Amino acid sequence: MVLPPAGPVTLTGSRVALSAPVEADIDRVTELCQDPAIAEWTTVPRPYGRTDAEGFIGVVVADGWVSGRSCTWAIRRDGVDGPEALVGMVGLDAIADGQAEIGFWLAPEARGLGLMTEAVALVLDFAFAEPPAGLGLQRVEWHAFAGNTASAAVARRSGFRFEGASRLGAVQRGTRRDDWQAGLLRDDPRTPADGWPAETGAER
């Protein structure tokens, strides 16, 4: 198992800063997770209540950093003060044996601005950097429920190579759904990748 360097770290870009969500973020996370698109494309509970955010931040996020099994960051917009600075989440899960899975979601008002692409780039830099600056991973996987073309666009721009679709290969709140998968290796170019099928939203 690869442990993160001394617990939660902050990653800073030109327009976003990534830091571990804390207790003060509970109400904001609760608010954002009411968005129908987040419920449609992630595995967050539905309906989503304040106790769900409390468990996510106080247990899931905290235990992930301590154990080294996952690293979760709140995406905060530079130049925005208060709770509204938090506009999304991005994280690495199932960290083991040189590999992890990336996942992310973004608030409606922050979509289409390139903020998630910047956040994902920061996370990938951290994932592939050698310790103590990063995790020293060799591979990062991306999964999405089939039809999530917005997530696919971020993955494609970030350099992920499409690796296929699994029929009913993922579970969302007890229901099986088709799953898309892509992968990025440490030495792969971090430029938009070819080979994505049209149904993912890629242009031919």
The correct CATH number of 11-137 out of 3.40.630.30, 3.40.50.620, 3.40.50.970, 3.30.230.70 is 3.40.630.30
55/81: higher pLDDT: 55
Per-residue pLDDT reduced to its tens digit, 12-21: 999 999 999 9
- Inform me whether the pLDDT recorded for 9 exceeds 60: yes
Give dist(CA 155, CA 182) in Å, integer: 8
pLDDT tens sequence across 102-160: 999 999 999 999 999 999 999 999 999 999 899 999 999 999 999 999 999 999 999 99
The pTM for the full model equals: 0.94
- Residues 132, 16: Cα–Cα separation, whole Å: 22
> Domain limits of the chain?
11-137
Across the range 22-39, mean pLDDT stands at 97
What pLDDT was estimated at residue 20? 96
Q: What is the mean pLDDT of residues 25-32?
A: 97
Given a cut of 90, is residue 166 above it in pLDDT? yes
